[in-house]
Amino acid sequence: MMAVMEKRRTLTLGLQNQSNLSIDDIRKNYNHERAWWNTIKPEMSGVEALSVPGPLRDIALRIYRPFNQNPSPTLLYLHGGGWVVGNLDTHDRVMRLLAKFSGATVVGIDYALSPEHKFPVAINETLAVIHWLETSGRKHDLDPSRLALGGDSAGANMAVAVTQLHHQRDPQAIQFLLLYYGAYGLRDSWSWQQYGNADYEFTREEKAFYLDSYLANPGDHTDSRFNVLNGDIDCLPQAFIAAAECDPLHDDSVALHEAMRKANRPAHLKAYPGVLHGFIHYSRLLDKATQALRDGARALTKALS
């Protein structure tokens, strides 16, 4: 992890203090830093780019098809980045490895970012993609009958929220959740007190920036479409919940797992020691990143095989 942190420092364009940067510069810095981690691309049987109609605009998708897995389950993947940064390119290697390890067809969603498109636009776009998958997915060899939602960080938050919302219209449609170090609604926690500082590369100031960018008003903090712990836990399908030990959001994963356990919902929590928030990006240097992706892929395969 220390080697990853040192490598990241060499990739930040010298723009380490976000407080004085514009949104465009923050995204430029993030994209530049992530590019190195995505340079080595695991081969796929095919990669297809397309767009589908959304409530406000067309939504770009990228379909990753693994080798020798047809027909295969479908994983809709929502990238992390605090709802402000990130795209299909910054998470390209993550999605390729999940497809390779699981045999599932992975569909990355390039949802609308904040602050240009505030809560709940990205959630509504994801629901629109699910509707497209159910009505038109088979035309693209996508199986909507074996459907999983996944994501990391902000994307994991959205995956749970979307599952809770979609359950109201079509119970049992989403059969598995693949969740990496998500924010699920805790306002404060022991892990925030322990790891919410610059030494662990995730500060309270950064948290406030992302939430202020994403949420439209103070009441959104308790909205179950954001604070998913306030939502319907009873409806959630089986889940693989991955947490990073040295992460302010560690206790969010613990809280979601405990809530699912109390609701008698099948969920497996695995915490990866010695790693920071965002660690699954760093599989070029970090073995635990590859391990976490393999673990999640294995759980997905078992659930939807």
The catalytic position among 102, 114, 153, 283 is 153
Is 277 designated active site?
A: yes
Name the β-bridge partners of 74. 105, 147
The single-letter code of the amino acid at 86 is G
User: In 137-217, which residue ranges form alpha helices assigned H by DSSP?
Assistant: 154-169, 190-195, 204-214
Cβ proximity of 241 and 252 under 8 Å: no
Is 253 designated active site?
A: no
Q: Which residues contact 169 (CB under 8 A, 6 or more apart)?
A: none
Q: Which residues contact 249 (CB under 8 A, 6 or more apart)?
A: 153, 181, 182, 183, 191, 202, 243, 277
Per-residue DSSP letters for 40-71? S----SEEEEEEEE-SSSEEEEEEEE-TT--S
CA distance 42 to 72: 18
Is 247 designated active site?
A: yes
Cβ proximity of 227 and 259 under 8 Å: no
Token pair for 201: 């590369």
The catalytic position among 247, 251, 252, 295 is 247
Cβ proximity of 127 and 165 under 8 Å: yes
Name the β-bridge partners of 53. 58
Count, residues in the chain: 305
The catalytic position among 91, 131, 277, 281 is 277
Q: Which residues are catalytic?
A: 153, 247, 277
